[in-house]
Amino acid sequence: MAPKAPLLNTISLKGIEIAPSQVWGAIRIVPLLRRQVRGDLRLAKRTYDDDLTVVSLQGKPLDKGLKYISYVPHGLVPFWNEEGQPVAAKGSQLVADGQRFHSGPVSVRVLSRMAKREARNQLRFLPLHLAMEGFLSLFFSGPDIAWSEYSKQALSQGLSPRTEWSVSGHAIQGLADALRVFEIHEHQVGMLLFVSEALASAFITPTPEDYRLLHHSLLQDFYGELLYQYGLYGGTVPIQTHVDETKVETLADLRDAISSLRQDWADFQGLMASDLLQRPVESKRIYTAGPFTLQRFITDLKLKAENHIGEAIVRNDGQLEYLKTYRLSAGQARRTYLLSQLAAQGWHLERTALSMGEPLENFIYRLEKAGFGYLINNQVREQAQKARRCD
């Protein structure tokens, strides 16, 4: 039996080359190239045309268990060869995938599980939603001990339901045009997407053919509201091209200058993505498929830096075959940070405030601003408000 792929502790682009970026307005796309493609893992796209998708997270009927509800435009279907032999591309749009219901003008698709095995060497999962569902479920259950400071709702239901808002790639100004006009390189298997020089997403596929198939699906992905604003007001980002003409006298000099320039671009663009690349991540294994493992992850939370969630398929030798990421907004990172601090202290409010070096009333105020005021009972909230007014 082949060893399982290791859980990611950092996101590394080992074996992948960063190519010079292409710029359109506030959009910068950095192509990612893979020179050596094994071909024993492929991705197919399965299109959904429904207005809403309901996913039963535990594979139970709709009236039981946890559910994830969102707009899901498509699924991804990895298929592989366990002996390492290349596999041919195949479409999967015609394969049935869950029940479909119509309620007036709205259609709803019902799916079982975020990732579901469909055949011996075939899996179906919901891109980005796999990562977002994991993010939403962090500390979902709320306090394990019935502390008197919490509301009845918090003690009986936890954080249910927990929701987050995002925008479609169609809403980011210039992205559709950029995807339409940008050149796709011969060996391109992915890209780093920047909006006004902020890293919006990283996307990697196993083969160049898979990337070409999924290139325009980036418009159907969801992004944080901040990136929508960056696209709207960010203006045009600079194109970095500079060759010292005084040092170019022959074709060999020109080749050396271009090679040096390409390396400088790669180093710079890798630095621009440093809040994702080589950043510590916490990963969870979702499914093992032959020599590959589907995982989801979240970067270590830093309130004054970019924070990302995502999913990946990793080969058993550690090579990254598939990657898709989502940049958390400042509000999303802040909410998760507060919940993580509470969970670390057993959901004890006063102990958590003390560990964070701030008065209890200030911590309760931060919880309310983050949208978690409903977790605290009214008496405690009123006492905290009085204490803040006295200060």
Q: Which of 116-120, 208-212, 234-238 has the lowest mean pLDDT?
A: 234-238
pLDDT tens per residue, range 66-106 = 788 888 888 999 989 887 787 876 654 444 566 776 666 77
pLDDT higher than threshold 70 for residue 178 = yes
- Residues 360 and 230 occupy one common structural domain: no
- Residues 226 and 354 occupy one common structural domain: no
Considering only residues 195 and 63, tell me which one the structure prediction assigns the higher pLDDT: 195
Asked if 99 and 107 count as a contact pair (C-beta separation under 8 A), the reply is no
User: Does residue 281 belong to any structural domain of this protein?
Assistant: no
pLDDT higher than threshold 50 for residue 18 = yes
- Residues 353 and 218 occupy one common structural domain: no
DSSP assigned state of 345 = T
Asked if 208 and 34 count as a contact pair (C-beta separation under 8 A), the reply is yes
Q: How many CA atoms lie within 13 A of 16 on its CB side?
A: 28
Our count of domains for the chain comes to: 2
Q: How far is 364 from 384, CA to CA, in rounded Å?
A: 7
- Residues 120 and 254 occupy one common structural domain: yes
What does the mean pLDDT of the chain come to?
85
Residue 41, SS3 per DSSP? strand
Q: How far is 13 from 9, CA to CA, in rounded Å?
A: 13
Identify the pLDDT of residue 94: 43
User: Does residue 336 belong to any structural domain of this protein?
Assistant: no
- Residues 202 and 115 occupy one common structural domain: yes
Q: How far is 244 from 257, CA to CA, in rounded Å?
A: 8
Asked if 168 and 107 count as a contact pair (C-beta separation under 8 A), the reply is no
- Residues 58 and 173 occupy one common structural domain: yes
Identify the pLDDT of residue 93: 43
The single residue listed with the structure tokens 């990657």 is 323
Identify the pLDDT of residue 206: 96
Q: Going by DSSP bridges, is the β-strand pair 74-80/122-125 parallel, antiparallel, or unpaired?
A: antiparallel
User: Does residue 331 belong to any structural domain of this protein?
Assistant: no
Q: Whole-structure pTM over 0.75, yes or no?
A: yes
pLDDT tens per residue, range 152-163 = 888 887 787 788
- Residues 372 and 224 occupy one common structural domain: no
Range of the domain at 124: 17-235+246-272
User: Does residue 284 belong to any structural domain of this protein?
Assistant: no
pLDDT tens per residue, range 219-249 = 999 998 888 888 887 767 666 555 556 666 6
Q: Per-residue confidence at 111, pLDDT binned at 50, 70, 90?
A: confident
Asked if 25 and 329 count as a contact pair (C-beta separation under 8 A), the reply is no
| Structure tokens, 24 | 């359109």
The single residue listed with the structure tokens 């995807």 is 179
